[in-house]
Amino acid sequence: MEIKKDVIIALDFSNAEETLAFLDKFQDCKPFVKIGMELFYSAGPDIVREIRRRGHKIFLDLKLHDIPNTVKKAMSVLRDLDVDIVNLHAAGTTAMMKAALEGLTREDGSRPLLIAVTQLTSTDQDALEKDLLIEKPIDQVVMHYALTARIAGLDGVVCSPLEAGKVHEVCGADFLAVTPGVRFADGDIGDQKRVMTPGEAKKIGSDYIVVGRPITKAEDPVAAYERCVHDFLGTCEEELQEQLPLERQIAQDLLKIQAVFFRPEEPFTWASGIKSPVYCDNRLTLTAPEVRDHVEHGLAELILKHYPDVEVLMGTSTAGIAHAAITADLMDLPMGYVRSGVKDHGRQNQIEGRLEPGQKVVVVEDLISTAGSVLEVVEVLREAGAEVLGIVSIFTYGMQKGLDRLAAANVENHSLTNFDVIAEEAAKQGYIRQEDVSRLIRFRNNPSDESWRE
């Protein structure tokens, strides 16, 4: 899905006459507009058709929330209005969201974008706890709803601009963050509790901003709209270029906390006796909250992208257990782990946690070198009847032996970052010399050959 940032004007008018008179002011452009409940219930589908006829893109903001079958039938009606975006409440459950997608999809496979409301921008922590009896922090609730929407197959969420960046961390850069609650710095915030300016919303990661009264109630609505577009889109491309790819962000994180440590002049000795210029201890990510947050959300993003049908996460013993647990919590999935051997007491389990035959499993590992230990885990799970979709890991050396073993076992691995990227970042950050990079790559290509030390 191609993401194009834009400003959406909320047409908060009570009738068709006011609405069309407002749009008549825009002679030189056709703004993206939002039709909400008040206007739709007043003027009906005809106002949608007329605005569409005039050439505007439309976000139909009706926030559907009902039993799955009712929402499915309602969406099958809305799809024929030829709008660009429709929405519903994520609180309606995964089943409702999946049913909505079915109803919205035309016979040729096309459909409008479907996004979910997480929490209304008029809801703050106090209202969440007192009125809705939800005691979790509001940002945690929003992220949970966002992940649920992503897993259900939706294209994005409506959220506060305060949460837009986090939504992308959790659900991926291609998952839309559509954000109301945007006001000019010199404007009235009205009944919104969680607001930002257009420029701030751009910086934090909003894809679309929805702006109503600051434009519709302005003395010069066209000038207010142009100001908003300038503030939000003015240097948007530059901002996107500054965003680090995930593999480089994780590489920088691991170097910063010395989870990956290079020492080519005084190599470390592995248990096998091999002299290594690098030492990796990803357990350190667990004691660095910001890095841990990047890692676990990154693992969730990999799983959503490559294994959307996953039913259970299984950690490797012991390094993968904590990462599997945290990621499973983020994704609201069951998890377990596989011991390195059968227990010599109790029920003599090797797989800890409930696993039913036929369940679709993703294995969570911290580090892959020659892939021997993680493939033992895969084999144990397969013998138990699980369908192993694949592996996710924090870091891979990319050693040929490991790649060959994974291919022979017919299992794929997706890592947050890899040896080559970390070596390059280490040179950029001054941890090693630039000329050391080629030596490190020679080590990776053939660890048993110590000629890399020359």
b/e map of 44-80 (b: 16 or more CB within 10 Å)?
eeebbeebbeeebbbbbbbbbebebeebbebbeebbe
Catalytic residue among 34, 57, 63, 360: 63
What gap in Å lies between CA 186 and CA 181, rounded to an integer?
14
Nearest residue to 138 (alpha-carbon basis) of 156, 158, 163, 172: 163
Nearest residue to 179 (alpha-carbon basis) of 166, 396, 380, 292: 166
Give the torsion through C-alpha atoms of 280, 286, 289, 291, to 10 deg. 30
Chain-centroid distance of CA 203 in Å reads: 17
Burial (CB < 10 A; 0-12, 13-18, 19+), residue 133, is exposed
What gap in Å lies between CA 65 and CA 118, rounded to an integer?
12
What gap in Å lies between CA 283 and CA 256, rounded to an integer?
14
Nearest residue to 34 (alpha-carbon basis) of 10, 12, 65: 10
Strand partners, 177: 157
Which helix (H) or strand (E) segment holds residue 51: the answer is helix 45-53
* 63 has catalytic annotation: yes
Which helix (H) or strand (E) segment holds residue 368: the answer is strand 360-368
Nearest residue to 396 (alpha-carbon basis) of 409, 379, 413, 412: 413
292 close to 286: Cβ distance less than 8 angstroms: yes
Strand partners, 35: 60
Active site amino acids: 63
